[in-house]
Structure 1
Amino acid sequence: MKFRWTSMAWSIAYLLLLLSLSTPLLIITTLFLIIPPVVLFTTLNTRQFILHILPVWLIVGLISPVYVLMAVYLLVPALVMGRWYRKRDSAQSTVIAGMLAILCEFLLLLFIGKTVFNFDLYNYVNEVLAVTPLIGMGMGDLGWTSEEIRELSVMTIQMIPMTLIISSAMIAVITHSIVRPILNSMNYAVPKMKPLRDWRLPRSFIWYYLVGFIVLMIFSGSDNSYMLMISANLLPLLQLGFKIQAIGFFFFVAHERKWNKVFPILLAIPVVLLPSLWIIGIIDLVFPLRERVTKSKR
């Protein structure tokens, strides 16, 4: 009975989240929409899961069928992550699977919009989200020429793939961070993420960065927008990875030296804020710094 009431509570939470899409809170609640179905799918069998989900969709459908379509759209990554939780896979593989599912749905949505509704995302961003607001804010009065504004809008458009990747990863990480303690509280053990001190990138990422940098240098003055888009997205993503590597190194040293946890947090702040300190992550990859820290401890 306790479990039944718990499942009912999550169905109600799912209903409230879907209803919140009609409020200004939708920007926030959208990030949490897949959490209730993940919990329900992981802890219930397929028949019970359907019996909990369908009434919610029927109620929401009476208000707006669009919200039901959004619920169906977001159900796919919830089912993917829930299946990984059922198999007791590692936290890393669960998050990656959820991220890839969300990313594939983003791409599928863009494909359907382009082929079915003839929606051109690039023109939309260029005309509505980039050029028009900048001009409306008086950027021309600040010395920005129309050509510079256009170049900025093109750069914004080129960063769309990276934005989609980071958004997918953020939703998957938020979902796992909330779902894991919930499932543990329901006596459903879920593996946790590796400690930050153990996070390490493959050394091959250095070569990927080198290739991206060479591509940027070769095509920086050309009209090959495809190659420029690759480098414009690959390099920032790799730099973000190197920042995480650097922060992991700080936590590793703090753990080996028995430092207070405040120290690696303080060291991580400038890495996050300053653009050039991602080089620390590359140094940690190239040289065996962690092994030296371990040996010096002995």
Structure 2
Amino acid sequence: MILIFSCFLPMINFITIPLLTVAVIYLYVKLDLKRFLLVYLANILIMILIGGKIAFLLLSLPLFFLPAAIVMGFLYKKSFTAYKAIIASGLILVAEMIVLLIGMKLSGYDPFNYLKDNFNQMITLLPEGTIEPAAVESFFYMFQLISPFLMLFIGASYAFTSHALSRLILPRMGESIPKLPSIQKLRLPRTTVIYFILVMLLSMFVDEQSGSILAMVAYNILPVLTILLTLQALSLLFFVVHHFKWNRGIPWIAIVIVLFWSGWLYITVFVGMLDILFPLRARLTDKS
């Protein structure tokens, strides 16, 4: 049922696919390797019998996410930390996306041009002048330019969501899943600020339309560092709320604001830099 929802309702894939991953993780943690393979192969055969002509479509998603789920389950079984499990699983997904993209390119299929052509066909249904062709070209150029960051973000998001659901579901089924350290303890190295400033300056002097390696580096690393500094700022907010016993809903409201108001993002990045460079927490605790 989850497979069917994943294939025919792609807008809820961010929930259904991690649920599939959790099921695989549970089987891998619970069973030895031989029994796991037997159970998984049996499920594949059942889906082939049930799916018929769309069996390949139904199996493509679980097979794609299978390696990442196995890696995460293996690391849980070996009592590795949650961070290592998430990073390893996310990198596996990124590697698979890169291999898939290379395979498409080698076979003569360009997914970026396919998306652009479909979008241009949709535009023809709109009143003339609604969207300028130049704007479409610029959008898809930037989309292709930052595709490495997008793949990294997708891999990390699915790995984190899978871990969060595993922590929520599997302990109730008797399985021990490692816990992530509290976000309020997050402390990024000071070099993060240096890298951010350097990449920010680079992005100011590099033309994104040039197609150069420097442009690709700048426009892919900058959002990663921005997210890290935002997490550092949220870490400080969680720390302050915990220390002064404020309402626990405050940090979550801040997260919603960051997600939906881009202007707030600049403030959080600046606060994150201050938290890294200066002993703000020590001063706050001393004053209290």
> TM-score by structure 1 length?
0.83
Task: Report the equivalent of 2:89.
Answer: 98
Aligned-pair CA distance for 1:271: 3.8
Task: Say what the alpha-carbon RMSD is for the aligned residues.
Answer: 2.4
| CA distance in structure 2 between the aligned counterparts of 1:176 and 1:50, rounded to whole angstroms | 22
Residues 111 and 205 of structure 1: CA distance in aligned 2, closer, same or farther (over 3 Å): same
| 1:119 counterpart letter in structure 2 | Y
Q: Secondary structure at the match of 1:77?
A: helix
In structure 2, distance between residues paired with 1:221 and 1:193: 37
Distance apart, 1:72 and its partner CA: 2.4
Asked whether 1:74 is paired with 2:65, we answer yes
Q: Equivalents in 2 of 1:249, 1:218: separation in Å?
A: 32
Equivalent residue pairs, number: 278
Question: 2:270 aligned with 1:283, yes or no?
Answer: no
Deviations 1:148-206 (A, max 9, x none): 33222212222222221111111111111111232222332222111121123222221
Partner of 2:218: 231
Structure 1 unpaired stretches of 5+: 1-15
Cα distance in 2, alignment partners of residues 74 and 221 from structure 1: 33
| 3-state secondary structure, aligned to 1:167 | helix
User: 1:110 offset after TM fit, Å?
Assistant: 0.8
For residue 33 of structure 1, report the CA deviation from its aligned partner.
Answer: 2.4
Partner of 1:172: 159
* Counterparts in 2 of 1:25 and 1:234: CA distance versus 1, 3 Å: closer
In structure 2, the partner of 1:8 is none
Gaps of 5+ in 2: none
* Distance of 1:281 and 1:135 partners within structure 2: 45
Taking the aligned partners of 2:181 and 2:223, their CA distance within structure 1 comes to 24
Q: Which residue of 2 aligns with 1:256?
A: 243
Residue 210 of structure 2 aligns to a residue whose secondary structure is coil
1:128 aligns with 2:115: no
Q: Which residue of 1 aligns with 2:136?
A: 149
Preserved contact between residue 256 and residue 293 of structure 1 (Cα < 8 Å): no
Query: What TM-score comes out, normalization by structure 2 length?
Result: 0.86
Verify the 8 A CA contact 2:230 2:265 in the aligned structure 1. no
Larger RCO, structures 1/2 (Cα 8 Å, 6+ apart):
2
TM-aligned CA deviation for residue 69 of structure 1: 4.1
Aligned to 1:84: 75
CA contact (8 A) 2:112 2:140 kept: no
Percent identity between matched residues is 26
User: 1:10 corresponds to which residue?
Assistant: none
Residue 269 of structure 1: how far off its partner (Å)? 4.1
Alignment of 1:1-40 (within 5 A): 16-24=1-9, 27-28=12-13, 29-40=16-27
Change (3 A) 1:163 1:43: same
